[in-house]
Amino acid sequence: MAKKPVRKAAPKPRRPAARLAPQRAKAPARDQRPQLQPLVRPPKATASEMDLLRELCNAIAVSGDEGAVRRIVLDAIRDHVDEVRVDALGNVLAVKRSKRSSQRTPRLLVAAHMDEVGFMLTGHESDGSLRFELVGGVEERTLLGKPVLVGPKRLPGVIGAAPVHLLKDDRRNAVTKVSQMRIDIGVDSADAAKRWVKMGERGGFTTEFAVVGPSLRGKALDNRLGCATLIELLRAPAVYDFDLHAAFTVQEEVGLRGARVVAYAVDPACAFVLDCTPARDLPSSDDRENTQYNSRLGLGPAIYISDKGMISNDRLVRYLQQTADAAGLPYQFRQPGGGGTDAGAIHLAREGVPTVSVSVPGRYPHSPVMLARTEDWRNTVKLMRLALENWTPQVLKR
Amino acid sequence: METLLLSHLKELTTAPGVSGYEHHVRDLIRAAWTPLTDEPHTDRLGSLWAIKHGTGAKPRPRIMLAAHMDAIGLMVSQVEGEFLRVVPIGGIDARVMPGQLVTVHGREDLPGVVAEPPAFLLPKANREGVVPLSELLVDTGLPADTLRVSGLVKAGDVISFAQSPVELQNELLAAKSLDNRASVAALTVCLETLKSRPPVWDVIAVATVQEEVGLQGARASAFALHPDLAVAVDVTHGSGPASKEYADKTFPLGGGPVLGLGPNIHPGLHAALKAAADRAEMPYTVEPMPAHSGTDAYAIQIARAGIPTMVVSIPLRNMHTPVEVLSLKDVARVGRLLAEFIAGLSADFMNTLTLD
């Protein structure tokens, strides 16, 4: 399944391979319309950057069982950092030291969670099907009629549905509860099922990563986009005046548990959290304005000001904003409100850590398939690169 | 045989072929049936006929084997910014739609995702319970100007499911559109088997169109072909983990062909198929069909002056979802059962066929 990540120098940037067929219907009279000149050309991902994201997205790493993604991360960063270790919970902690690294060198933490929502197998039925419970906030209404992969061998199964033909009207409108769903792997007895999968093993969605025109499509873009961004930050040749601590965290989806111990261990001067935030930028069917979109695709990195878990550090928010403005990068403020990231745990570590989150907006998180824009991801990478390159302790001064 | 059947089924189910737009899958079926029959022909509504001439003296009696090749799907009703509003083609189950992968057949084929808007965007009446298809959106991941300005997608464009087939344990296959490509594959098996057992009768394999929207193709084909006998081959509900409470309306996967019985079925023909299953030492089950069989047989039976009609089915779990599940063994058995029955048809079979 997982092929080794490419370690060679990145080839010259070019367009992603799997874009839409080139013979698109001719854009009518494009040259006759006023051309909007973007401030900066939308950055593209190189083939190797896209391959790494593909590999990360296709791996299954349900909270508490992040091994598959951890292995990819370790392979991808090992040659680019000064130290790397895996802690007691499974977080990957890597350090890129400053040239004059000492005890007094400031430590910056950049964190991205590796885990994804999914399910855990909780029992065998006599007919061979499997009971399961959800891990993290899976969108339950997206489960019925989907293929899944279960156990470390990625055994295929399906979550079936009673045929609509047999349902009475009231049942057609009833949401099926997870407790009523079963995973069908094709065997017809509990004993046969036990030979293939054990209770406690995890399961995830099957959607293969794909580049779809200007968009990225796959499962678990939340938060493999953050992981891919953080890997790129570590692979960048830059050396900073601070020690860069990168944390690929576990168990974000079940309560920010990895990030909490990471922040304690690193005790950073400040922290940036990379995640993927919902873009609920869909139309309403009755022409009401959508005022709760949270974030929108195509408007750039979403900078958090406040969420359910925290109020972002105002100086870091301003710093990111100034960095983006100076470089002409697009950005948006994520609407304040519910939800949260690892930042909620990190900012409370020890005596407190100034923290901010930056997310790539993504539609349909916690479902079998998400959509995000390549451009938003690349602009997030660019913003974070600049934010690290230009960071000084002055940023945090009141 | 089984591996050939598996790849045939994967190919057939992967091809789009929403009711009224069956051309992709028709091309595949024509390619598969051309070497096995004498005259493939596409009729006025789009159904594919493949005639295998019998060895009997002319005028030979003829049997029509009907398997519908169309599949349920969606149609674009409106392009709204970056999103598509859709209407159903056939019996779409709204419960399984959010999060499905689809292909939008616009000016080019575009991958898409079925999206359920968050509750705050839905009318109050739809915030609880299953969100109806009319409130769901299809998202192609393309910006609004690409969709609209270039006319890439328009109202009336067809959308098919795009879930890839998945092999389960015990020779079970999960795929979209196994209803009813499985029966098309069974006809392929039947025609292959008949190569070594040339029948007396003319055999006309028909891949019908538009079954899911009202049996239109079967109606027209049955009129045109005017067969002496007809067998509709379709899927029926298979027993499985999601259908426990419908035990009396479901049939076991791996239990062999399911033989229909009821007003849509000629009793003599039912008995003859049973006898053929016994000759082939094949397991089978019987499905009571108190009224409408829900298959092409319902239209065929009343074509012209009436046709003795039979329904043979393949048990299928999760019907009308993109993860329909069946046993490859049942597909092969249905093919062999039909071949056994047809090979045993004598020139004067019609004189022996009685209602009592």
What is the identity of the amino acid at A318?
R
Considering only alpha carbons, which residue of chain B is nearest residue A144?
Answer: B96
Mean pLDDT of B146-169: 94
Predicted local confidence at residue A42, as pLDDT: 56
Q: What is the mean pLDDT of chain B?
A: 96
CA torsion through residues B67, B72, B76, B82, sign: negative
Model confidence over B214-230: pLDDT tens digits?
A: 999 999 999 999 999 99
**How far off is chain B from A60, nearest CA to CA, in Å?**
17
pLDDT band at A41 (very low <50, low <70, confident <90, very high): low
Predicted local confidence at residue A293, as pLDDT: 96
B110 interfaces chain A, CB cutoff of 8 Å: yes
Considering only alpha carbons, which residue of chain A is nearest residue B244?
Answer: A162
Mean pLDDT of B45-62: 97
Model confidence over B249-308: pLDDT tens digits?
A: 999 999 999 999 999 999 999 999 999 999 999 999 999 999 999 999 999 999 999 999
Predicted local confidence at residue B188, as pLDDT: 98
Q: Hey, how many other C-beta atoms are within 10 angstroms of the C-beta on A77?
A: 21
Q: Which two tokens stand for residue B5?
A: 């059947």
Element at B285 (helix H, strand E): strand B285-288
Mean pLDDT of A309-316: 97
Considering only alpha carbons, which residue of chain B is nearest residue A176?
Answer: B95
With contact defined as beta carbons under 8 Å apart, do B216 and B296 qualify?
Answer: no
Model confidence over A152-191: pLDDT tens digits?
A: 999 999 999 999 999 988 888 899 999 999 999 999 999 9
Between B36 and B149, the higher pLDDT residue = B36
Between B55 and A239, the higher pLDDT residue = B55
Inform me whether the pLDDT recorded for A257 exceeds 90.
Answer: yes
Q: CB A175 to CB B320 under 8 A?
A: no
Model confidence over A360-375: pLDDT tens digits?
A: 999 999 999 999 999 9
Inform me whether the pLDDT recorded for B126 exceeds 50.
Answer: yes
pLDDT band at A285 (very low <50, low <70, confident <90, very high): confident
Domain boundaries, chain A: 47-116+219-282+294-396, 118-205
Candidate from A39-53, B74-88, B138-152 with smallest mean pLDDT: A39-53
Mean pLDDT of A127-149: 97
B78 interfaces chain A, CB cutoff of 8 Å: no
Predicted local confidence at residue A170, as pLDDT: 83
Q: Which CATH class is domain A118-205?
A: mainly beta
Predicted local confidence at residue A22, as pLDDT: 42
Q: Which percentage of chain B shows pLDDT scores above 70?
A: 99
Between A307 and A238, the higher pLDDT residue = A307
Q: What is the mean pLDDT of chain A?
A: 91
**How far off is chain B from A67, nearest CA to CA, in Å?**
25
Predicted model pTM: 0.91
Inform me whether the pLDDT recorded for A111 exceeds 70.
Answer: yes
Inform me whether the pLDDT recorded for B99 exceeds 80.
Answer: yes
Interface test with B, best of A282, A294, A377 (most B CBs within 10 A): A282
Helix (H, G, I), strand (E, B) or coil at B115: strand
**How far off is chain B from A120, nearest CA to CA, in Å?**
18
Helix (H, G, I), strand (E, B) or coil at B217: helix
CA torsion through residues A372, A378, A379, A383, sign: positive
Fold classification of A47-116+219-282+294-396 is: Aminopeptidase (3.40.630)
3-state secondary structure chain A: CCCCCCCCCCCCCCCCCCCCCCCCCCCCCHHHCCCCCCCCCCCCCCHHHHHHHHHHHHCCCECCCCHHHHHHHHHHHHHHCCEEEECCCCCEEEEECCCCCCCCCCEEEEEEECCECEEEEEEECCCCCEEEEEECCCCHHHCCCEEEEECCCCEEEEECCCCHHHCCHHHHCCCCCHHHCCEECCCCCHHHHHHHCCCCCEEEECCCCEEECCEEEECCHHHHHHHHHHHHHHHCCCCCCCEEEEEEECCCCCCCHHHHHHHHHHCCCEEEEEEEEECCCCCCCCCCCCCCCCCCCCCCCEECCECCCCECCHHHHHHHHHHHHHHCCCCEECCCCCCCCCHHHHCCCCCCCCEEEEEEEEECCCCCCEEEEHHHHHHHHHHHHHHHHCCCHHHHCC
pLDDT band at A239 (very low <50, low <70, confident <90, very high): confident
Predicted local confidence at residue A20, as pLDDT: 43
Predicted local confidence at residue B150, as pLDDT: 79
Predicted local confidence at residue A1, as pLDDT: 42
Q: Which residue ranges does chain B devote to CATH 3.40.630.10?
A: 2-71+176-352
Buried b (16+ CB within 10 A) or exposed e, A4-35: ebbeeeeeeeeebeeebeeeeeeeeeeeeeee
Q: Does domain B2-71+176-352 have CATH number 1.10.20.140?
A: no
B73-161: CATH number = 2.40.30.40
